[in-house]
Structure 1
Amino acid sequence: MADTSAGAPTAGTPGARTRSHPRRFRLTLLATVAATVAASSAVTVASWSAAPPAQAALSPVGIPGRGATVPFREQEAEDVATNGTVIGPNRLYTTLPSEASGRRAVTLDAAGEYVEFTLTAPANAMVLRYSIPDNAAGTGITAPIDLRVNGTKLKDLSLTSRYGWYYGGYPFTNNPGAGNPHHFYDEVRTMFGSTLAAGTKVRVQVASTAISPTFTIDLADFELVGAPIAQPANSISVVSHGADPSGAADSTAAIQAAANAGASQGREVWIPQGRFKVTGHIIVDRVTLRGAGPWYSELAGNRVGVYGKYVNQGGPSQNVTLRDFAILGEVMERNDSDQVNAIGGAMSNSVVSNVWMQHNKVGAWMDGPMTNFTIRDSRILDQTADGVNFHYGVTNSTVTNTFVRNTGDDALAMWAENVPNVNNKFTFNTVGVTVLANNIAIYGGRDITVSDNVVADTVTNGGGIHVGNRYPGVNSGSGTAVSGTFTIARNTLIRAGNSDYNWNFGVGAIWFNALNEPMTQATINVTDTDILDSSYAAIHFIEGTVRGVNFTNVNIDGAGTYALQIQSPGSASFTNVRARNIAQSNPIHNCVGSGFEITQGAGNSGWYTATPYCGPWPAPVWGGGPSNPPTNPPTTPPTQPPANVNLAQGRPVTETSHTDVYVATNAVDGNANTYWESANHAFPQSLTVDLGSARSVSRLVLKLPPISAWQTRTQTLSVLGSTDGSSYSTVVNSAGYTFNPASGNSVTISFAATSRRYLRLTFTGNTGWPAGQLSEFEVYAG
């Protein structure tokens, strides 16, 4: 999809303007990274007001007062009895430990090797999270492993790699030759047939390595599942319309007929115990579909989905309830144009409750306009892409008390592409192991709440919580940009953020991005929040101008690089923000200097410095030692400041003169559509930027607004530099530079690296207008 956003007309010499810039895919992975495939216990964390324990193996399950209330007890394989090999901890993308919960797991590679769990409470069911290798064709293998109870074999568990192992760059393939393997894990659920008492030994043990040479076990969730729910009185059973609970016959048409009958008669539709084969969308409107419970009533098939009516098809659907059943897909590839989601379409005044979604492309992708939609008390597992996405025009809607794990894109997202999302909430959810992008992401929207969630283990190209004007269609022209009040409150982020292989630096646990346009029309309050063991920075600002962010009562304990990473201009306030265990001795990375304004309230400690660091990106430190994430290329951290950091953006700038509202600061604001213009008919004129300290520089990029209304022109100018602001010498002799809208109205001036604090452009001519003109004065390191 192209990203095109229109700006308002600008008065002045060049005439009206528009702007368009190429979208940076939030998911794109640039190249092949060689695979490194090697063969936490649940502890709690105190609230922000107390010192949390060490975070090395902190589980996202069971954080007091936050996250989803789950019906299972989780045990990590590396913390129980085993004669296998513990792998990790490791956060490097394309390795097995990086996608394990807590970044550790156990690999079994010989007959007789096992992982043995001891039940801490009665259970009659188990979910096992595991990984087995792919085959050479990329289509996956299926292999058995023994399930033993107190030493006696109970049954075979069938493990498969059919739903994992993606390769190459976004949107990924099943071709191992493309390299870059990831999305390794899957989950299998089983019932024991009886209730096992606390203290029972439940073992998974390798009987043979003939089919799969290795079995990697991440964790097990043990649950006491209640008896099947009985059929409600006066409900319509899908079996009465011909649905087959054995799964042998295709039940799609029969279930659709039952749903239509239920809607017309005002009766609930009953999905009894069984596995019903569904190969298309069940369209629902003004009806309740309910089952005997998600362990008992299953809709399963290669294109299974329950959808409301789209708005252009007579929707949104109204008064829909989906509850107490599972939607189990068979999606084994990513195709963004294919509607193979568990739940979709548009539903207003509707509820999804206690629904299990697994092996779909997306758990719930909702296309508005629609309102008052709730997902609650549900499980969303092993998705190819997002867990939930409120795509556009979704208002007054909520995801709450829902458990999400192993998504291939944003786990919980709101994307206001072309119609505003308003007054939506993500609350009390637990999100673990997001393989790509963010645990929670908000792209545009007004008056949004993200509260009381626990998020953990982002793997690559994203962070724990993200707010941005940075996805197609998100702009003020369509009313979809970030605005109003954003409440980011009482969240816990564990091992969040990771390396972005577009940028070759780390993304923060909480991060803000205004790529499409400045994010200055909202008040964003981040309060009562724990940011624990971040893979890179705890808090991160990147691209565009972001203002109006207020951090209050924030506890940062552990960061692989910095407490605060600033790469764009803006401002934020900090009150009672406390940090410790920050890997770098200087806790702030800031290459925009005073372009980002920090306002300090009371109670801050451990993160502020008046002289932030700006320089090469360090290797992150995880668990007490340095880690060198793979880059593309190089394979080690850069030895120079990042080439893509504009050292002049947001810096102090002076001018010899300006016309009307076209002041010097327009040339360093990061917006190519605003510009400086000197007094007319009065050459020479100059523009001078202060980099804050002497910097090694070797390249300038000079820009005019990138539209055809700015006709081609040649400006004659020279480049001068100074270390003290008073004595200047020539860096580049005077020459003519042609700005052509056909090539973006941009000029690059390269020169031998020189160390200067001040850089000055002196203009002596302009064939297009009798003044110096510049929309961006960009300076890059040498």
Structure 2
Amino acid sequence: MPVTPLPPRRPLRRGLSASLSLIVAAAGALVAVAVSAPDAFAAGVPAPSPVGISGRGATVPFTEQEAEYAATNGTLIGPDRLYGHLPSEASGRQAVTLDATGEYVEFTLTAPANAMTFRYSLPDNSAGTGRDADLDVLVNGSRLKSVPVTSKYGWYYGGYPFNNNPGDTNPHHFYDEARTMFGSTLPAGSKVRLQVSSTSASPSFTVDLADFEQVAAKIEKPSGALDVVTDFGADPTGATDSTAKIQAAVDAGKAQGRTVYIPQGTFTVRDHIVVDRVTVTGAGPWYSVLTGRDPSDRSKAVGVYGKYAAQGGSRNVVLKNFAIIGDIREREDNDQVNAIGGAMSDSTVDNVWLQHTKCGAWMDGPMDNFTLKNSRILDQTADGVNFHMGVTNSTVTNTFVRNTGDDGLAMWAENIPNVKNKFTFNTVILPILANNIVTYGGKDITLSDNVMSDTVTNGGGLHVANRYPGVNSGQGTAVSGTTTAARNTLIRTGNSDYNWQFGVGAVWFSGLNEALDATINVTDSEILDSSYAAIMNIEGATRGLHFDHVRIDGAGTYALQIQAPGTASFSNVTATHLGQSNPIHNCIGSGFQITRGSGNSGWYADPPVCTGTWPAPKWTNGGVPGDGTPPDDPPTDPPSDPTVNLAKGRPVSESSHTDVYGASKAVDGDANTYWESANNSFPQSVTVDLGAAKEIKRVVLELPPSSAWATRTQTLSVLGSTDNDTYTTLKPSAQYTFAPSSGNTVTVPLPGTATRYLRVLITANTGWPAAQLSEVEAYTG
């Protein structure tokens, strides 16, 4: 069959603008549904939610409710995934529009709450400067308050890096979020209504969802801390500029070795607060807020920054328990108007709320050992987080990201290597441009236990690539070592690229700068209702892909979209509900070599299809996280067979190993092979990921058969965890004798605590100066 010429490649988003058109591959394939839904419940099409997936993504403090399933006399819009259409940027690609006085969306609380964040869109004004209005909040039919809403932080036009001119093409970035506290705790069952009181300021109000939570009381000043208000005169009303006074407090905190406390209040900050060797903490992100922007120099705005690497960088910084809510209404990549930035080694950002800045955190290395955790990043004009060049051993974890103007979580090894960074247990929703999670270059990167959903355009859910300037092997910045993408859930990810004019896969790989030639392991993951292909490679070549235990349930087009040479292996990969009868699009032919292991179904065809046109996608709004039961039947976790070894063949890690005796040999089902740690270096451990929390009641440990190995005693304990972070002791340390008379096998009874990550910790061995195990077996009975 003839090879379809590849359209011109997508321009660089960082530094090269392009004239963008609203032509997408699926144009005309789906028309947005607009159905009047007076006083209706569950008006929307059921679609899986990315919030609250057990064991994956961020653990959030709120309960989310979608407007399309609430009581309303408004108009349902969607489902629709076409770029530039209002519902395409809504969670689940559906929302409710209110366009008359008295129209409402009403949510019924399922748990007590004293606060609400709601996501909404107002139409832009003719000048592109946005409009301000209010929505009323009613509780059980009585008006509680009005909440200001605005379109000033949305509505971009034209080509990258975009503008605020409504006369230009490609309107997008429609939604924003507002938060409010109720003043008291509302019990479960309370009805909270968002209602239009007037259409004079805005002709319509579109409500996407509401997040309800119980906000804890404010955090009091730590003992011995410096107070930016009482000790340095910062203004908690926001009426005057507090930049210099907060900077003075931070400098004094560093000099005196004391914590700096930001009490309850809204503080105007018009430039960077520079931090180094200091802890800055607030009363909580609902109480302590930094905001502001220089009134004349628009390149200066609120932000907390480490010193740049050229200045020696900062280290030993802790930022926690406050919010940075900025006033950035445009995208100007040359301006450092991010909430957090600079270089911060050996530092932690914890429980912060970042909103309305350019990027939540743009970290410029070299820097090492930085962690951002337990935070919310909302409504950015560019990336949520970017580890930009020379960031090593750093992590973003348990963080909720929604509505970024570019990549949600990104690593970009521009000119300086990024090494051993991790994005784990995050929820990343609705990047308006580009990807949910991506690494551009990088060595030994981990992207695991995340939830990604609702990619809008020009990107996919999970992306690994040698793309963008400075990413190449000559500088050691290309993808290298092992990239681990494990236990991720992707929902409605991937979408159309308006430059390429075809779909981008939910999981995709690119060798644009040079061939992507490394070990990339995608394991124990699910790709649900992908907007186009489930898996895709493009540009250059991609070698070293390995897929194991991956479930594809719903893809708008293909299971595999192959557009460049390479190699990939597939084991235990299943695909159902594909938009095309042939599951593979491949015009490369034998240039892409597929190795098929066991346990595969639904995704392979020989020959694949090679068409001259790209098919319109077929979207199901289906695919359920977990066990795959349909949307109207809540997923259940069937009980485990007590006789089945749950550890066999599961992912495994180790503290060390010697020679060829890696930890995988301890779960391969063969007692003749074994794991052995480094010599003379106790303690040592091996950790098995069981894939889901199970009530483990016994662990069986084996050494090679008695014909080969003599008696030895190992001192060991068994630990368990549900998140691979906090471990509890399931069986205290004791001596266990492995004797030929008992088959060199010992059984360790356990209390049946729910455990996903099972760890055997060994501190001594009478038979060899190292830890040794040929099998670790786990049973629920």
Aligned equivalents of 1:316, 1:241: Cα separation in 2: 26
1:165-210 per-residue CA deviation (whole Å, 9 max, x = no partner) reads 0000100000011121000000000000000000000000011111
Residue 308 of structure 2: which of 295, 307, 310 is its match?
310
Aligned equivalents of 2:398, 2:585: Cα separation in 1: 36
Q: 1:420 to 1:436 in 2, by over 3 A?
A: same
1:519-576 per-residue CA deviation (whole Å, 9 max, x = no partner) reads 11x1100000000000000000101111001000000000000000000000100000
| C-alpha contact (below 8 Å) 1:368/1:392 kept by paired residues | yes
1:31 shift after superposition: 2.6
Aligned twin of 2:11: 24
Residue 213 of structure 2: which of 210, 218, 223 is its match?
223
One-letter amino acid matched to 2:11: R
Aligned twin of 1:121: 111
Residue 299 of structure 1: which of 290, 293, 300 is its match?
290
Aligned twin of 1:502: 499
1:351-381 per-residue CA deviation (whole Å, 9 max, x = no partner) reads 0000000000000000000000000000000
User: What SS does the aligned partner of 2:201 have?
Assistant: coil
Aligned equivalents of 1:498, 1:23: Cα separation in 2: 14
Aligned equivalents of 2:389, 2:169: Cα separation in 1: 34
One-letter amino acid matched to 1:243: A
- TM-score using structure 2 length: 0.74
Aligned twin of 1:181: 171
Matches within 5 A, 1:326-475: 326-475=323-472
Aligned equivalents of 2:46, 2:184: Cα separation in 1: 36
| C-alpha contact (below 8 Å) 1:99/1:459 kept by paired residues | yes
One-letter amino acid matched to 2:12: F
Residue 161 of structure 1: which of 137, 141, 151 is its match?
151
Residue 96 of structure 1: which of 86, 89, 95 is its match?
86
User: What SS does the aligned partner of 1:306 have?
Assistant: strand
Residue 255 of structure 1: which of 246, 250, 269 is its match?
246
Q: 1:67 to 1:55 in 2, by over 3 A?
A: farther
- The two structures, once aligned, show a CA RMSD in angstroms of 1.7
1:22 shift after superposition: 9.6
Aligned twin of 2:72: 82
1:246 shift after superposition: 0.6
Aligned twin of 1:289: 280
Aligned twin of 2:536: 540
| C-alpha contact (below 8 Å) 1:55/1:532 kept by paired residues | no
User: What SS does the aligned partner of 1:258 have?
Assistant: helix
Aligned equivalents of 1:176, 1:238: Cα separation in 2: 42
Aligned twin of 2:234: 243
Q: Does 1:612 align with 2:601?
A: no
One-letter amino acid matched to 2:269: V
Matches within 5 A, 1:517-556: 517-520=514-517, 522-556=518-552
| C-alpha contact (below 8 Å) 1:244/1:250 kept by paired residues | yes
| C-alpha contact (below 8 Å) 1:531/1:555 kept by paired residues | yes
Aligned equivalents of 1:64, 1:312: Cα separation in 2: 43
Aligned twin of 1:586: 582
One-letter amino acid matched to 2:534: A
Aligned twin of 1:275: 266
1:326-355 per-residue CA deviation (whole Å, 9 max, x = no partner) reads 001000000000000000000000000000
Q: 1:38 to 1:268 in 2, by over 3 A?
A: farther
| C-alpha contact (below 8 Å) 1:252/1:282 kept by paired residues | yes
| Structure 1 residue ranges (4+ consecutive) displaced by more than 6 angstroms after TM superposition | 34-39
1:611-670 per-residue CA deviation (whole Å, 9 max, x = no partner) reads 000012100111289xxxxxxxxxxxxxxxxxxxxxxxxxxxxxxxxxxxxxxxxxxxxx
1:56 shift after superposition: 4.9
Aligned equivalents of 1:68, 1:398: Cα separation in 2: 14
Aligned equivalents of 2:537, 2:172: Cα separation in 1: 27
User: What SS does the aligned partner of 1:532 have?
Assistant: strand
Aligned twin of 1:172: 162
Q: Does 1:233 align with 2:231?
A: no
Q: 1:562 to 1:581 in 2, by over 3 A?
A: same
| C-alpha contact (below 8 Å) 1:517/1:544 kept by paired residues | yes
| C-alpha contact (below 8 Å) 1:37/1:94 kept by paired residues | no
1:77-129 per-residue CA deviation (whole Å, 9 max, x = no partner) reads 00010000010000000011000000000000001100000000000000010
Matches within 5 A, 1:683-702: none
User: What SS does the aligned partner of 2:366 have?
Assistant: strand
One-letter amino acid matched to 2:252: A
Give 5+ residue unaligned stretches, structure 2. Answer: 1-7, 35-43, 294-300, 623-781
| C-alpha contact (below 8 Å) 1:26/1:437 kept by paired residues | no
Matches within 5 A, 1:628-777: none
User: What SS does the aligned partner of 2:248 have?
Assistant: helix
Give 5+ residue unaligned stretches, structure 1. Answer: 1-20, 40-53, 626-782
One-letter amino acid matched to 1:320: V
Aligned equivalents of 2:45, 2:123: Cα separation in 1: 30
User: What SS does the aligned partner of 2:474 have?
Assistant: helix
User: What SS does the aligned partner of 2:516 have?
Assistant: coil
Q: Does 1:266 align with 2:257?
A: yes
Q: 1:37 to 1:166 in 2, by over 3 A?
A: farther
1:33 shift after superposition: 3.0
Aligned twin of 1:663: none
Aligned equivalents of 2:471, 2:45: Cα separation in 1: 36
Aligned equivalents of 1:255, 1:609: Cα separation in 2: 63
1:610 shift after superposition: 1.1
1:720-770 per-residue CA deviation (whole Å, 9 max, x = no partner) reads xxxxxxxxxxxxxxxxxxxxxxxxxxxxxxxxxxxxxxxxxxxxxxxxxxx
User: What SS does the aligned partner of 1:502 have?
Assistant: coil
User: What SS does the aligned partner of 2:81 have?
Assistant: coil
Aligned twin of 1:702: none
Aligned equivalents of 2:474, 2:88: Cα separation in 1: 40
User: What SS does the aligned partner of 1:145 have?
Assistant: strand
- TM-score using structure 1 length: 0.74
